[in-house]
């Protein structure tokens, strides 16, 4: 194990896209870290940069149009952004796995579950097809798929959405990775099935000591399974801390506003908190703090200078010139 | 406890079958998307319809406003049987029955300006005499949903998802309908935008005094916007109850599962998430008895024989389960 127990440290990532409409400033100074066996939630609204962050870490970002301009992705102390394509192939097969929002796009429709799983397994381990098939069945059992040997013979479209996502997770876990990056793995699923997938992720952390980055726009999911949270807004991490700090003592006005905008499940309310306006366009993002046009705590400086993500209290990071909780900087 | 008692919609034994292609040999089969469903909605009432993907919510909604014909069963609107209306009579119904669709990106015609979109219903029903009058009505509707007069000349693609949903709501309400089906009006939107639309709908209900059926798979949205909730599972209603009661005391095992599966944004109150085997059965091969039996913790042999009828167990609280 590496010193300070951190498996991943993302430092000052800056990622732009060169498009016909102009330069999309998708990630600006994104930093956060993840301890071993920790589940980190990355939460934010559409277009805030969650997927781009995941694709940058795993080096699956399409380049062009993507450009990684600055930053480091330290995985077990080594910078993934400096690795060759071949080294990355090995890392993605053995140490870091990713699951995607829509399992249909990640599973190949013309191959059976068995063909795809044994393919992946025998690519990384020099074992026979038969051994790989046995391993695949064990992976399917791990994710509690009923009749795994039957499911092995099926094509992706013959499975329900929940089963497909389980297969995806089994596939992602079959190489026993250390880090799992799950990009909205349950958005297309029903809540009762979603609860199953969340239970599965918790169980895998328990059994395999997996570290997880859980990308979502759902505060409920974060609160159910995550140990820490990074809140993203328009390409920035605006707040990063333990789950309790963020939920019970949010320092950024955006985090607080979002938490209050969720209709409560356990009580009746007359009206919901509203964050006025809409998310900005990232080709021409607002000057200074990208949240300032929608912020109720805006100061003059907010239009001029982008706030840095700093540790305001112990382990509680915020990027705001006028944070909540009285803590002016 | 319920101040509404004048039925505006009565649905009796509604059935909707679809032809589907089944299996490798592409055999034709039928599924029952809505299966023997009966309920009443009173004037002024806000009713939520919840259930998981594919359980028949949208189909029910489309049939209620007669965008679709039922295979069997009756829909009584304001005392009149509208189940099999056709042609001009059906067209006239649009004035009183409206629907807002889930997807604000595909439900608006991209080649029409906002003004054209809002003006059309006024023209079809010859609501306004002069074009000045038309403009005034359109403008009022637009302002009521929080948009401005300068938006009238713009096209749908120039708006964000939340704004498009506002336009769709304005279009549905411009004729002052008596009954509206809101089909997942916010599920395509982000939380901060969703809150804006939910508040808007709540205010519009007071202002326009219409009755609605709100379809959603999100129980927190339904809680915020309804007086009464109906829970659907595989084409069947399994529970109907006043909102506060359903949250306090859900009775059907499926409703309980649903409630206990919703992630709660309070980290001090975590669920004990447990991994179980199993899957939702397919509508192509529904179980012989209660459709929920294969996943049900209370299952008995009786449950595998017949589907339990929806019966009133407390005033206004109906459940379809032998074990309750
Ligand atoms: N291939 C691409 N070309 C151009 N712009 C891109 C590309 N991929 C992403 N972007 C832009 O980068 C920004 C961040 O996108 P990203 O997909 O990371 O958002 P997200 O937080 O994952 O949103 P969602 O919740 O919708 O998945 C957006 O403005 C998006 O339009
Ligand atoms: N036009 C159609 N032809 C064939 N089958 C259909 C048609 N419309 C709906 N279905 C099927 O009927 C069932 C109910 O669909 P419906 O759209 O009413 O579900 P829903 O509860 O609204 O789901 P969702 O939450 O995903 O919107 C599904 O199995 C669906 O595939
Ligand atoms: Mg994404
Ligand atoms: Mg639907």
pLDDT at position A291 over 70: yes
pLDDT digits (tens, 9 = 90+) for A126-167: 788 888 899 899 888 877 787 888 889 888 888 877 788 888
Domains in chain B, ordered, with CATH? 7-96+177-319 (3.40.50.300), 108-176 (no CATH)
Residue A136: in which H helix or E strand, if any?
helix A129-142
8 Å CB contact between B310 and B319:
yes
Q: Is A44's C-beta closer than 6 angstroms to any atom of ligand 1? A: yes
The shortest C-alpha distance from B123 to chain A (Å) reads 33
- Structure confidence at residue B29 (pLDDT): 82
* Binding site membership of B21 for ligand 2 (Cβ less than 6 Å): no
- SS3 letters across A228-261: EEEEEECCEEEEEEEHHHHHHCCCCHHHHHHHHH
Better-predicted residue by pLDDT, A7 or A191: A7
Q: B191, A219: Cβ pair inside 8 Å? A: yes
Instruction: Name the residue of B16, B37, B50, B58 whose CB sits within 8 Å of the most ligand 2 atoms, as the mutation to test its pocket.
Output: B58
- Nearest-5° Cα angle at B182, B181 to B185: 165
Return the half-sphere exposure (C-beta side, CA atoms, 13 A cut-off) of residue B133: 7
Q: A199, B264: Cβ pair inside 8 Å?
A: no
Decide: B217 in ligand 2 pocket, CB within 6 A.
yes
SS3 content of chain A, % helix, strand, coil (to 5): 35, 25, 40
Task: Give the ipTM of the model, two decimals please.
Answer: 0.82
A25, A43, A44, A48, best to mutate for ligand 1 pocket (most atoms within 8 Å of CB): A48
Averaged pLDDT of chain B: 90
Question: Both tokens of residue B148?
Answer: 């401005």
Instruction: Please give the backbone phi and psi of residue A278, each rounded to the nearest 5 degrees, phi first.
Output: -130, 170
**CA–CA distance, B170 with B110 (Å, rounded to integer):** 16
The answer to whether the CB of B264 falls within 8 A of the CB of A197 is no
Among all ligands shown, which has an atom nearest to the Cα of A45?
1
Residue with tokens 């020099």: A126
CA A290/CA A279 separation, integer angstroms = 9
How far apart are the C-alpha atoms of B165 and B180, rounded to whole Å? 15
Question: What is residue B303's three-state secondary structure?
Answer: helix
Question: Which residue among A145, A192, A217 places its CB closest to the CB of B261?
Answer: A192
> pLDDT tens, position by position, for chain B (324 residues)?
456 889 999 999 999 999 887 665 667 888 999 999 999 999 999 999 999 888 999 999 999 999 999 999 999 999 999 998 888 899 899 899 999 988 777 788 889 999 999 999 999 888 888 889 999 999 999 999 989 888 999 999 888 888 899 999 999 999 999 999 999 998 878 888 899 999 999 999 988 889 999 999 889 999 999 999 999 999 999 999 999 999 999 999 999 999 988 888 888 888 877 766 666 677 888 888 999 998 898 999 999 999 999 999 999 999 999 998
Taking contacts as CB-CB distances below 8 angstroms, the residues of chain B near A264 are 220, 223
At A26, list the tokens: 């998708």
At residue A1, does pLDDT exceed 50?
no
Under DSSP, the state recorded for B226 is: -
Rounded Cα gap, residues A69 and A93, in angstroms: 26
Q: Within 10 A of B300 (CB to CB), how many other CB atoms are there? A: 13
CA angle B297, B302, B304 (to 5 degrees): 75
Nearest to B224 among A161, A196, A263 (CB): A263
Find out whether the beta carbon of A65 lies less than 6 Å from any atom of ligand 1. yes
For the CA of B34, the nearest atom of ligand 2: 14
Residue A70's pLDDT is 96
Residue B89: burial class (beta carbons within 10 Å; 0-12, 13-18, 19+)? exposed
Please report the pLDDT score of residue A100 as a whole number.
78
């Amino acid at each position: 194990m590496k010193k300070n127990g951190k498996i991943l440290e993302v430092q000052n990532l800056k990622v732009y896209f060169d498009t016909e409409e102009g330069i999309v400033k998708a990630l600006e100074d994104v930093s956060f870290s993840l301890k071993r066996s920790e589940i980190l939630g990355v939460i934010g609204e559409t277009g805030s940069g969650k997927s781009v962050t995941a694709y940058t870490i795993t080096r699956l970002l399409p380049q062009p149009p993507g450009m990684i301009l600055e930053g480091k992705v330290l995985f077990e102390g080594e910078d993934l952004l400096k690795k060759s394509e071949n080294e990355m192939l090995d890392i993605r097969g053995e140490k870091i796995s990713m699951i995607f929002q829509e399992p249909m796009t990640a599973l190949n429709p013309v191959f059976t579950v068995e063909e795809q799983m044994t393919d992946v397994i025998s690519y990384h381990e020099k074992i026979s097809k038969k051994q790989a098939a046995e391993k695949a069945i064990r992976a399917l059992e791990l994710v509690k798929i009923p009749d795994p040997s039957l499911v092995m013979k099926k094509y992706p479209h013959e499975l329900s959405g929940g089963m497909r996502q389980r297969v995806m997770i089994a596939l992602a876990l079959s190489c026993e990775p250390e880090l799992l990056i799950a990009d909205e793995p349950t958005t297309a699923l029903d809540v009762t099935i979603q609860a199953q997938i969340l239970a599965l992720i918790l169980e895998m952390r328990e059994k395999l000591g997996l570290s997880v980055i859980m990308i979502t726009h759902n505060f409920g999911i974060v609160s159910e399974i995550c140990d820490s949270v990074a809140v993203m807004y328009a390409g920035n991490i605006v707040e990063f801390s333990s789950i309790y700090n963020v939920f019970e003592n949010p320092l950024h006005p955006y985090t607080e506003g979002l938490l209050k905008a969720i209709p409560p499940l356990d009580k009746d309310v007359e009206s919901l908190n509203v964050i006025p306006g809409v998310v900005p366009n990232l080709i021409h993002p607002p000057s200074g703090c990208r949240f300032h046009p929608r912020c109720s705590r805006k100061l003059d400086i907010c239009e001029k200078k982008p706030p840095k993500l700093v540790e305001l209290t112990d382990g509680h990071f915020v990027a705001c010139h006028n944070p909540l909780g009285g803590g002016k900087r | 406890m319920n101040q509404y008692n004048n039925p505006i919609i009565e649905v009796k034994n509604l059935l909707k079958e679809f032809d589907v292609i089944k299996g490798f040999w592409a055999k034709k089969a039928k599924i029952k998307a809505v299966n023997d469903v009966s309920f009443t909605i009173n004037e002024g009432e806000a009713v939520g319809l919840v259930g998981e993907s594919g359980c028949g919510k949208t189909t029910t909604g489309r049939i209620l406003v007669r965008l679709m014909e039922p295979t069997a069963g009756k829909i009584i609107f304001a005392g009149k049987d509208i189940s099999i209306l056709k042609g001009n009579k059906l067209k006239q119904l649009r004035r009183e029955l409206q629907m807002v669709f889930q997807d604000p990106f595909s439900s608006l015609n991209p080649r029409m300006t906002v003004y054209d979109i809002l003006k059309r219903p006024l023209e079809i029903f010859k609501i306004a005499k002069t074009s000045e009058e038309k403009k005034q009505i359109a403008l009022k509707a637009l302002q009521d949903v929080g948009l401005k007069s300068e938006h009238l000349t713009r096209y749908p693609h120039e708006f964000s998802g939340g704004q498009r949903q506002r336009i769709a709501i304005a279009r549905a309400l411009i004729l002052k309908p008596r009954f509206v089906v809101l089909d997942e009006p916010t599920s395509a939107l982000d939380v901060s935008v969703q809150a804006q639309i939910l508040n808007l709908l709540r205010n519009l209900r007071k202002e326009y005094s219409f009755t609605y059926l709100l379809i959603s798979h999100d129980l927190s949205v339904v809680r915020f916007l309804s007086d009464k909730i109906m829970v659907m599972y595989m084409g069947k209603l399994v529970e109907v109850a006043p909102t506060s009661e359903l949250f306090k005391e859900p009775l059907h095992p499926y409703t309980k599962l649903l409630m206990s599966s919703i992630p709660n944004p309070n980290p001090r109150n975590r669920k004990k998430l447990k991994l179980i085997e199993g899957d939702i059965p397919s509508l192509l091969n529904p179980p012989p008895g209660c459709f929920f039996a294969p996943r049900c913790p209370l299952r008995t042999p009786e449950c595998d024989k017949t589907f339990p009828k929806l019966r009133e167990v407390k005033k206004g609280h109906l459940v379809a389960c032998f074990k309750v």
